[in-house]
Amino acid sequence: MSRTTPGVRLLPNAITVLALCAGLSAVQFALTGDYVLSIGAIGVAAILDSLDGRIARLLDASSKMGAELDSLSDAISFGVAPALVLYVWLPGDDRFGWVVALIFAVCMVLRLARFNTLLDEDQPPFANEFFVGVPAPAGGLTALLPVIVTLEFGTGWWSSQPAVWLWTVATATLLISRIPTLSLKKLRAPAKAVAPLLVGVGLLAAAVIQYPLIALAAALVLYLAHIPYAVRRYHWLAAHPEAWDVPGRERRAMRRGLRGQRRLGLRRPRLRQVAGAARRAVQRSDGSGTGPTTPHVSRVYPPADPARTSSRKRGWRRIGLRQRER
């Protein structure tokens, strides 16, 4: 059994505190009018938030204090800080803007509280691949998308007060919704895709360095676009328990097979009707069943009448053939 030193156990909590400081610094940057640094600080908080949990699991330094500290840090960095940045950035009606900021912050706290309660509930195995609603870092950055677009492309309809308020409330709704979203922690890359992924990481780093705001806005749009796929995948896994413990390659093969059946027009047999008809046929044939047994009596059909058979002629109109021209 491995033991971790106190300094190593302190490392994940130190990263969480750094994320908290980055989120609070975003508010200070917004008060001085430097919104690019404000968005960057919340982005740094999101990166640190994704690292502290992984490092704690790798070092076997998980603790209840770390879990509580992580939730409090997320509430401030991705709930309070984005709400205050939007409130400072958008001039106009201070009263209604403050109401929208409060709605977003409260929804973020409720989302984190529900996340903590779901950790103690029994979930199906496939539920670990999904989040319930949009996670806190993605929600905090998504709420700032109007600010990002305005800083890059200038003012427009996306920077108007009604559009920003509506966008903020819609993001808050996604936070507290039960819409499933993919968890990046459970994604596994095959061995063949390692080299292309590393090339993609290099291209992404170049895009972030050269066009940071455009790259961040594109990443947020792609994240929102994946939600319909996540919902479809969640419902498919819920309807196919046989695929819960199957690797990703076999899952894709199963889904391709089912799509091929639908494309060919094949339908699943109606098992209840077929089983019932087969059961009744067996009971009639051998006299067995749940009720009282009855002896098997074979049916006797009367012989066919030759006169009636000859009178029923199959005309060419009845069978759909044309009469041959003489």
pLDDT digits (tens, 9 = 90+) for 82-91: 999 999 998 7
User: Which one, of 149, 310, 311, lies nearest residue 218 by Cα?
Assistant: 149
Q: Which residues contact 31 (CB under 8 A, 6 or more apart)?
A: 88
Gap between the Cα atoms of 223 and 148, Å rounded? 15
Look at 92-106, 141-155, 171-185, 239-253 and tell me which has the smallest mean pLDDT: 239-253
CB 182 within 8 A of CB 230: yes
Full-prediction pTM beyond 0.75? no
Asked if 12 and 55 count as a contact pair (C-beta separation under 8 A), the reply is yes
Q: In this structure, which CATH number among 3.10.20.30, 3.20.20.120, 3.40.190.10, 1.20.120.1760 belongs to the domain 6-183+203-241?
A: 1.20.120.1760
Q: What is the pLDDT of residue 38?
A: 94
- Which tokens belong to 61? 């330094």
Is the per-residue pLDDT at 304 higher than 90? no
Average pLDDT over residues 316-323: 49
Backbone angles phi, psi at 258, to 5 degrees: -65, -40
CA dist 57 → 47, 54, 69, 128 (Å)? 17, 5, 16, 16
Cα–Cα distance measured from residue 213 to residue 35, given in angstroms and rounded to the nearest whole number = 11
Task: Count CB atoms within 10 A of the CB of residue 309.
Answer: 9
Which band of pLDDT confidence, cut at 50, 70 and 90, is reported for residue 128?
A: confident
Asked whether residue 137 carries a pLDDT value surpassing 60, the answer given is yes
Q: How confident is the model at residue 170 (pLDDT cuts 50, 70, 90)?
A: very high
pLDDT at position 138 is 92
Copy the structure tokens of residue 48. Answer: 């640190």
Task: Report domain extents, the chain.
Answer: 6-183+203-241
